[in-house]
Amino acid sequence: MKQLICLEPGSWEFQEINFPKLKPGFAILKIRRIGICGTDLHAFEGTQPFFSYPRVLGHELAGEIVDIEAHSAFQKGDLVTIVPYYSCGTCRACETGKTNCCTHLQVAGVHVDGGMAEYFQVPIRNLMKDSALSLDELALVEPLSIGAHGIRRSHMKSGDRVLVVGAGPIGLGAAKMAQIAGADVILMDVNDHRLSHVHDKWGISLVMNPLKEDALATLKAYTNDQMPEVVIDATGSAKAIENSFPYMSHGGIFVLIGLQLQAISFSHPEFHKREGTLMSSRNATKEDFQWVMNSMKSGQIQASDFISHRLAFDQVPAEFSGLLDPQNRVIKAMISMD
Ligand SMILES: [Zn+2]
Ligand SMILES: [Zn+2]
């Protein structure tokens, strides 16, 4: 069987390897869809922090079970997605159900090899399925769950104004889940194409480009001076994060989904005056996966809201760097392996 390995930044190689031997507690999947994520793009560029090479990328997966021992919930032929976060099960975070931030977390396609391969062996406890979902939908569950987790962390209520800063796939996922939860969503990005994509298709009433307008003034006018109750950062830009503190309402919550390397700073008096809450949001849990899957099943999320580009497995080495080019207007690229 074939796997695609990222040998070092900028370099791919297809390798012929042995078909995996089934381990107890695992299932072997024939991989059918692989979503390409910012993490994969940054790993290929060499700009992903804490990343080691060589590495098989790919953590947004949909596949068909081709081998599994007798199991009550899964069987051969099932179409599944995977929760790519391999948690230890014994640390304090795991004990309290926060498997998403396990002390010893290993993420498939990041810390250990992922699913850019014809077949991939996965722990059964990391599988999720819903026979009503398509392969495209199954492969989108993980990236949308990241946004879902941030929205659940914020404890937003229906009718709250939720400002999402950053309209990449993660920010768009957060915006979609906030919309499903009844928020009045406001979306900010410096990429007009992304803003117009959701403005027209999703019915998000306010989209804004802070390079082209006074974001603070627009938000004040839109919220009658109250400002958004929840601000979500999905940019991973220190500058964008620091600029977003003044966007929070009094009593508001600022959730950092995006990650960057530098220290951030903000005005303590301004933050204090608001009695603000600052939180990070890392990965997702099965509850988030389930919320996204249910929302897909009920038709509240369409795969076409996100998938903008499609490529075959063989095309990945030639096409991959083009996905980084903003000119190509990629929202989510999906590798199809039929
Ligand atoms: Zn991802
Ligand atoms: Zn743990």
The Å distance, Cα 56 to ligand 1 centre, comes to 14
The Å distance, Cα 96 to ligand 2 centre, comes to 9
The Å distance, Cα 89 to ligand 2 centre, comes to 5
The Å distance, Cα 167 to ligand 1 centre, comes to 15
The Å distance, Cα 28 to ligand 1 centre, comes to 21
Can you give the pLDDT at residue 327?
Answer: 81
The Å distance, Cα 59 to ligand 1 centre, comes to 6
CATH fit for domain 147-280, picks 3.40.50.720, 2.60.40.1180, 3.40.47.10, 1.10.10.410: 3.40.50.720
Question: Which pTM was predicted?
Answer: 0.96
The Å distance, Cα 52 to ligand 2 centre, comes to 21
The Å distance, Cα 58 to ligand 1 centre, comes to 8
Q: What are the tens digits of pLDDT across the range 184-226?
A: 999 999 999 889 888 888 989 899 999 999 999 999 999 999 9
Task: Break the chain into its structural domains and give their ranges.
Answer: 2-129+306-336, 147-280
Overall CATH class of domain 2-129+306-336: alpha beta
> Residue 234: is it exposed, middle or buried by C-beta count within 10 angstroms (0-12/13-18/19+)?
buried
CA proximity to 156, closest of 28, 253, 236, 84:
253
| Contact between residue 63 and residue 337 where contact means Cβ atoms under 8 Å apart | no
Please list the residues that pair with 121 across neighbouring strands. 28
Structure-token pair, residue 316: 């990945």
Ligand nearest to the Cα of 84, by number: 1
Low-confidence ranges of the chain (pLDDT < 70): none
Can you give the pLDDT at residue 187?
Answer: 97
